[in-house]
Amino acid sequence: MRDSTETGEPGNYGVGFPNFLGKVDDPEARKSKLAAELANGRLAMMAIIGMFFQDGLTGSAWGDWATYTASPLRAFENELGVQAPFGFWDPLGYTADGNKDDFTRRRVTEIKHGRVAMLACMGYITPEYARWPALCSPSEKLAFADIDNGLKAVSLVPLAGWVQIVAFIGSVELFQFKYDPSRAPGDYEAAGVLGVPRTVQGTASTLADPEAKKRKLNAELANGRLAMMAIIGMFFQDGLTGSAWGNWELYTDSPLRAFEGELGVQPPVGYWDPAGLSADGDAEAFKRRRGIELKHGRVAMIACMGYIVPEYFRWPGFCSPTQGVAFEDVPNGLAALSKIPGAGWIQIVLFCGNLEIGFFKYDPTRAPGDFANGGVLGVPNGTTLPAGELKNKKLSSELANGRLAMMAIIGMFFQDGLTGSAWGSWDLYTDSPLRAFESETGVQAPLGYWDPLGLSKDGDMETFKRRRSTELKHGRVAMFATLGYIVPEGVKLPGYLSPTLKLPFAEIPNGLSAVTKVPGAGWFQVVLFLGYCELAFLKEGDEPGNYGLGYLGALNGNGRGQSFIKAPEVRKKKLNAELANGRLAMMAIIGMFYQDGLTGSAWGDWSNYADSPLRAFENEPGCQFPLGESGKYIWDPAGLATDPETFKKYRSAEIKHGRVAMLATFGLVFQHYYHFKALSFPDSYLDLSGSPNGVEAISQYPSNVGFACLVLSAGIAEMYFNDEKGEFPGDFGDPWGLKQTLNLDKEGLEKFRRYELEHGRLAMFGTIGTIAAEKVSGLDGVDQWNTDATRQAFAKFLTATTYGLANNGF
């Protein structure tokens, strides 16, 4: 091999990349690949050194911490602040020497900074909603209301004010917070909980209960760390945008502005680049990453389909004829990796490599993901879409779907790895720490024990009880709050809320408007009452939410709650009901606050919400009672209809789905009475006489071949009918001339469009219900209506909806 100096270019031995694939002649592509090689090489050098280091320390290739018993960090494993998921985390090695005094000093500093950061965060948030009355500086006539929020306030507060602030902090630091090595970090003789200075000497400066103390100190550390991150972020966005809350429109100098008009910039995140990969504004680097994102998204979409399809359909024949491995024998999910022979993997890698090198060649003159030999979704030699709005819309959809698929496939891999099942059967995940809480109150269908954030993944029963107690309190308060929204609509207390101000209860409006009507003294009484209840009565026992006070935490007639339910089943049922109702009430009260804030009315009067973008669609077909009403309001709880183009896209999709569902409903009923005899192909004849009814036919050969033909036909129809020709969504022309045959005028056409939407929506529910019922009962779309259970359920429905009249012959 020639020395690299013979060519004058480091690392170039004239043997290609790598040895048999040939040289890269294009200078730009060559420069890009060499830069990538250097970056990857540097990363790999760091990685392998780290692997060697952890292997040498722990004697394990993957660095099992449990085997590294000689670590000086072991001395601090049981300290406060050692919390999941990081444990004792010290990446910079500050405590590598195991010095206890240095650790204590740093912990004291951390606690102080955390407390200051928590106050600072509150100082950023509170002025957005409330400010002190009167003057900040009487001598300069500077009112608190005139001081801007955020960093701008620094220049508005007079120098004398800053001197007072510094003097106050210095006084607290020197005389109040004196460091005592005999006390825990952050615990001062002259200060109490959270470091608040005490005014009465001799009173307890800290919490008496050791467990409660440890829990609260851990919470303080965690909240302080979060606050430090938060306040730095607030300072950063304030400095960049000149606005305390970081208004993006003010940050005109951002290099990310260069990419605001690119594909993939979609609500609600907009142009989102938290890692700052495009911070330098390099268009070439952006295009390269966008091309990679598209490729990964396409692979992920195919991978997701590869996880889903084998659950219903598999290829007939053999995956490996020489080894006798049939496709039917290959399991779904990660377990398939070990079943496919090595020769099969070589074929897959060669096929992918051929596509990458032969078809998907990067061309800087074309858009990312657009290849001369690749069409829609990168299919080799497929036809591409002409430039225009339709192409941009489809490419944006592809990006969004690809991003979703990347998240989805990672989730599928994760649950497959945890449970050993492609679809993550919970029954197989016996090692889960959440098993400890499966029998707790509140574990209810359909979600079971639901903890998507992993708050209970450590299996800590004390932490679980604390969160459950908090949930119960919030649920009870939300139930009262929901009642407080509803009751005043029908009845209000007589007399005066404030006799001194001559303010009767009748004049207090319902909803959020009442907040400004209740006098300050009234709010003071409310807070005192709640605080008294919390401190005097709501003392935690062994069972979350049980304070010995009776139902819903309320006192009964004798002053202490004796209304304990002794029957275990009845008790469990009522506690489950309370939790469920509390959760529902929390959702309800948030919804009430939201609609009240939008409309200015406690019950969200739609006519008051004149600024809603949905007003543009009030007269569209499909606005129907009770969820909508033509000319009055439209039902769009997810806020999908943000603009006319988006509305048209969703309406078009709804109509397509409705049409497919109507055909599917017809097919689910029709196949009960009649089957096609066979599928005839030039080289085969597939007998369908033995095919099962219902959805089961999709998963069995040869009827699944017919379903594949149906999907193929639908795909061809979609490719040809992808451009709406009329002025309405879903109007792809009138090939049968029905408008003329039925003599439909504009009003008649509008009526038929409305009918189609109604029937399509009904059919979508009907199709889903029929398929679900078939999965549960094993009966097809007709037989499932002809069982004793169905007849009994229908009789109960009639009795309930007719108030028993159905039982009397009506």
Q: 685 pairs with which residues across the strands?
A: 680
Question: How many angstroms separate the Cα of 253 from the Cα of each of 180, 257, 258, 281?
Answer: 49, 8, 10, 11
More confident residue, 32 or 103: 103
Decide if pLDDT at 206 tops 70.
Answer: no
- Compute the average pLDDT of residues 409-426: 82
pLDDT of residue 661: 92
Residue 513 in tokens: 């408007």
Higher-confidence residue: 404 or 751?
404
763: left (phi over 0), alpha (psi -120 to 50) or beta: alpha
For residue 580, what pLDDT is reported? 86
Q: Name which residue leads in pLDDT, 117 or 172.
A: 117
Strand 684-687 to 318-320 pairing: unpaired
Average pLDDT over residues 116-139: 85
Complete DSSP assignment for 7-67: TTSTT--SS-SSSSS-----HHHHHHHHHHHHHHHHHHHHHHHHHHHHHHHHSSTT--GGG
**In this structure, which amino acid lies at residue 541?**
G
Which range of 74-78, 374-378, 399-403, 716-720 scores highest in mean pLDDT? It is 399-403
Q: What is the pLDDT of residue 22?
A: 54
Strand partners, 376: none
Which range, of 71-75, 469-473, 532-536, averages the lowest pLDDT? 71-75
8 A C-beta contact, residue 596 and residue 462: no
Per-residue confidence (pLDDT) for residue 407, from 0 to 100 = 93
Tell me the pLDDT band of 4, cut-offs 50, 70 and 90. very low
The listed range with the strongest mean pLDDT (484-488, 597-601, 676-680) is 484-488
Rounded to whole angstroms, the maximal C-alpha distance in the chain is 103
Determine which of 83-87, 180-184, 270-274, 521-525 has the lowest per-residue pLDDT on average.
83-87
Q: What is the pLDDT of residue 288?
A: 82
Secondary structure element (H or E) that encloses residue 286, with its range: helix 283-308
More confident position, 280 or 783: 783
Identify the pLDDT of residue 468.
Answer: 85
Q: And the tokens for 183?
A: 């006390």
Q: Cα angle at 328 between 323 and 333, to 5 degrees?
A: 100
State the pLDDT confidence band at 479, using cuts at 50, 70 and 90.
Answer: very high
pLDDT tens, residue by residue, 33-69? 777 788 778 888 888 888 888 777 777 777 666 666 6
Q: Residue 205 and residue 187: Cα distance in Å, rounded?
A: 8
Which residues contact residue 808 at a Cβ distance below 8 angstroms, ignoring those fewer than 6 apart? none
Could you tell me if 803 and 796 are in contact, meaning their C-beta atoms sit under 8 angstroms apart? no
Interatomic CA distance for residues 412 and 718, integer angstroms? 29
pLDDT of residue 240: 79
**Mean predicted confidence (pLDDT) in 591-598:** 85
The top-scoring range by mean pLDDT among 83-97, 175-189, 481-495, 708-722 is 481-495
Percent of residues, the chain, with pLDDT higher than 90 = 7
pLDDT value of residue 324: 87
Q: Is 135 helix (H, G, I), strand (E, B) or coil?
A: strand
Dist. CA 795–CA 797, nearest whole Å: 5
Which DSSP category does 436 fall into? G
Instruction: Please check the confidence at residue 153 and state whether its pLDDT lies above 80.
Output: yes
Token pair listed for 242:
């000149």
- Span 268-310, pLDDT tens digits: 666 777 777 777 777 788 888 888 888 899 899 999 998 888 8
Name the residue among 351, 409, 350 with its Cα closest to residue 380.
351
Can you read off the two tokens belonging to residue 539?
């003392």
State the chain's mean pLDDT as an integer. 77
Distance spanning both ends of the chain, measured CA to CA: 98
pLDDT (average), residues 535-557: 67
> What band does 200 get if pLDDT is binned at 50, 70 and 90?
low
Query: Which residue, 101, 276, 115, is CA-closest to 197?
Result: 115
Of 263-277, 401-415, 442-456, which one has max mean pLDDT? Answer: 401-415
Measured on CA atoms in the order 623, 628, 632, 638, is the torsion positive or negative?
A: negative
Q: Measure the CA–CA gap between 316 and 702, rounded to whole angstroms.
A: 10
The two structure tokens encoding residue 616: 């543009």
pLDDT for position 315: 84
CA distances (Å), origin 652, targets 630, 645, 648, 745, 777: 19, 11, 6, 22, 34
| 95 in Cβ contact with 73 (< 8 Å) | yes
8 Å CB contact between 442 and 333: no
pLDDT in tens, 611-620: 665 555 656 6
Structure tokens at 417: 């790895």
Residues 6+ apart with CB under 8 A from 170: none
Q: Which residue has the tokens 């009249």?
A: 805
pLDDT-derived band at 739 (thresholds 50, 70, 90) equals: confident
Checking if the pLDDT of 204 tops 60, the result is no
Q: What is the DSSP letter of 551?
A: G
- pLDDT > 70: what percent of the chain? 73
Task: Pick 593 or 3 by higher pLDDT.
Answer: 593
Q: Which of 226-230, 691-695, 740-744 has the highest mean pLDDT?
A: 226-230
Query: Count of alpha carbons within 13 Å of 182, Cβ hemisphere only?
Result: 1
**Burial degree of 562 (CB within 10 A; 0-12, 13-18, 19+):** exposed
Judged against a pLDDT cut of 70, whether residue 797 lies above it is answered with no
Judged on CB neighbours under 10 Å (0-12, 13-18, 19+), 809 is: exposed
410 pLDDT band, cuts 50/70/90, is very high
d(CA 202, CA 204): 7
pTM score:
0.45
Helix axes 644-673, 746-777, angle to 10 degrees: 60
- Mean pLDDT, rounded, for 616-639: 62
Q: What is the 3-state secondary structure (H, E, C) of 309-348?
A: HHHCCCCCCEEECCCCEEHHHCCCHHHHHHCCCHHHHHHH
